[in-house]
Amino acid sequence: MSHKRAPEADRYFPAHGDIRYRVHRYELALDYRPASNRLRGTARLSAVAGGAALREFVLDLAGFRLQRVVVDGRPAHYSHRAGRLRVRPAKAVEAGAAFTVEVHYAGNPQPIASPWGGLGWEELTDGALVASQPVGAPSWYPCNDRPADKASYQVSVTVPSAYTVVVGGTLLSRTTRSSSTTWVYEQAAPTSSYLVTVSIGRYEAVRLVGGGSVFAPRRPVPQTGYVPAGRREEFAVDFGRQTRIMDFFEDVFGPYPFGEYTVVVADEELDVPVEAQGLATFGTNHLGGRRRSERLVAHELAHQWFGNSLSIGDWRHIWLNEGFAKYAEWLWSEHTGGPSAAALATAAYDGLARLPQDLVLGDPGRRLMFDDRLYQRGGLAVHALRRALGEGPFFRMLKGWTAVHRHGVVTTAGLAAHAAHYASRPLDPVFDAWVHRAALPPIGDLGG
């Protein structure tokens, strides 16, 4: 994406992000005290200026008390209002030049208010968790809060030693001094700001064992669950087939894009699970020992390909995350002898046909971007692509899509161009009918 033209700022969230620079690495050092919900943090950002000199730039950060801001080792002037930290370096950063920003801050983190409830850092009864989609990341660290601005992360969190800290990525070290323990995680893969998460609680680690696909033998992806005390047996049932889901998704989507996959079951009830890079967070209401939430287990895992490895260019394209994750649920059902994807598509169509026809999948608007219709209509659009392409070309298209754009940024136009390479006839009518128009096309447009 170009960084020269203001129109490339996100239309849904124009008050977030700054297109004048890109961050390629964050190093976060946090100290958190659960009893008082007190957070002290130092954030070091390594960034590159865009096509013009930077006399000032903006970071997104909620209402913490700032202790100092340093750019390239020199104190910088700054102002901090309404979640926007405006920084004026002592010396302007030249166009295209690398620079570093260090922000020292402290306070009591609070979720950011939104139409979808509080976003970001959430204090729990005994611990904390982060669920940032779409714009909650500034609730706990300074960032360039745009999904297309992906960076690597090192996250260090110091907490009282009774607590476990889980962050998406590889645990590099765990060091105990006196009554506190510091956990250091590394996420080397490029990551969108909203997909960085932290869970703090009294958890037991459970290794999920499975492995290797019968179709393409490979080293199993390391998978770990973190569950509240006394819930291991339920977890073993409810997430017992996750390793099989991983194997199946690797067969149909291509290799898992990260080094490990972690599931946290927070000791709270959560309305919906939340995906993050290499990690998903569920609530205790998703347990029960009857696999009633397996559809969601599949959905969150699918997001590691669709949404996390392949990140959207801006929030208009949210269906590329949710439509493919919804369709992954249908594929898993089909694979395991449940209702076929075609049957589930028909049921979704029947449900949508009874609802208002005012959602344009490819640009739903901020108000409707998480409407349940977007998920169902997204799944239908993917199924329509399957019918238009045919079985072999469709599944080759899927693997090609995740391979070509692995750890990259995608758009609806990019998907249309990619899918066209696998089509025997133009796909414009499919995208026009299912993605770019609000009215549901006839059910016959799904094919046979």
What's the pLDDT score for residue 447? 52
Model pLDDT, residue 224: 97
Q: Burial, 367: exposed, middle or buried (Cβ in 10 Å; 0-12, 13-18, 19+)?
A: exposed
- Nearest alpha-carbon partner for 395 in 261, 248, 258: 248
- The predicted structure's pLDDT at residue 160: 98
415-430 tens-digit pLDDT: 999 999 999 999 999 9
231-266: b (≥16 Cβ within 10 Å) or e: beebbeebbebbbebbbbbbebbbbbbbeebbbbbb
Chain-centre distance of CA 173, in angstroms? 24
Query: Which CATH code fits 6-200?
Result: 2.60.40.1730
Residue 54, strand partner residues: 93
Architecture of the 312-446 domain: Orthogonal Bundle (1.10)
The structural domains of the chain, with segments of one domain joined by +, span 6-200, 204-304, 312-446
For residue range 58-67, list pLDDT tens digits in order.
Answer: 999 999 999 9
Binding residues for Zn(2+): 299, 303, 322
Name the packing angle between helices 372-389 and 319-335 (round to 10°).
70
Q: Same CATH topology for 204-304 and 312-446?
A: yes
Annotated binding site: 299, 303, 322
Chain segment 135-178, per-residue pLDDT in tens: 999 999 999 999 999 999 999 999 999 999 999 999 999 999 99
- Give the Cα separation of 353 and 357 in Å (integer): 8
CATH architecture of 204-304: Orthogonal Bundle (1.10)
Cα separation of 1 and 314, whole Å? 11
